[in-house]
């Protein structure tokens, strides 16, 4: 069995994140408790380069999960943000 070189990375590096996307879609777009649309971002939980389609059928190339707080009732909400792929 071949030895692995010292300090060799075991996983491939992440692709660079785009600086801006054409459009984004947030799910849910409002608080599920009071239906307020004013949400304050607390922290980003995960940011992944994934390719697929939103529930509405739009293509996306990156998804960000973040914890946000409703300014109306104070509830904590986990929000998925789909960053749409640009049409070529």
Burial of 3 (0-12, 13-18, 19+ CB in 10 A): exposed
The SS3 assignment for 10 reads coil
Q: What's the pLDDT tens digit per position in 49-81?
A: 999 988 778 889 999 999 999 999 999 999 988
Q: For the chain, what is the mean pLDDT?
A: 78
Give yes or no for residue 42 having a pLDDT over 70.
yes
Alpha-carbon distances, residue 21 vs 5, 25, 72, 76, 79 (angstroms):
38, 11, 29, 26, 18
Q: What's the pLDDT tens digit per position in 13-39?
A: 544 444 444 567 777 788 888 998 888
Write down the pLDDT at residue 73.
92
Residue 79 to residue 65: CA distance in whole angstroms: 6
Please report how many Cα atoms fall inside a 13 Å half-sphere around the Cα of residue 45, on the Cβ side: 10
């Amino acid at each position: 069995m071949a030895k692995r070189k010292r300090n060799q990375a075991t996983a491939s590096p992440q692709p660079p994140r785009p600086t801006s996307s054409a459009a984004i879609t947030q799910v849910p777009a409002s608080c599920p408790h009071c239906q307020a649309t004013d949400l304050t971002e607390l922290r980003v939980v995960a940011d992944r380069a994934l390719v697929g389609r939103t529930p509405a059928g739009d293509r996306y190339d990156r998804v960000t999960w973040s914890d946000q707080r409703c300014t109306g009732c104070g509830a904590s909400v986990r929000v998925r943000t789909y960053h749409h792929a640009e049409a070529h």
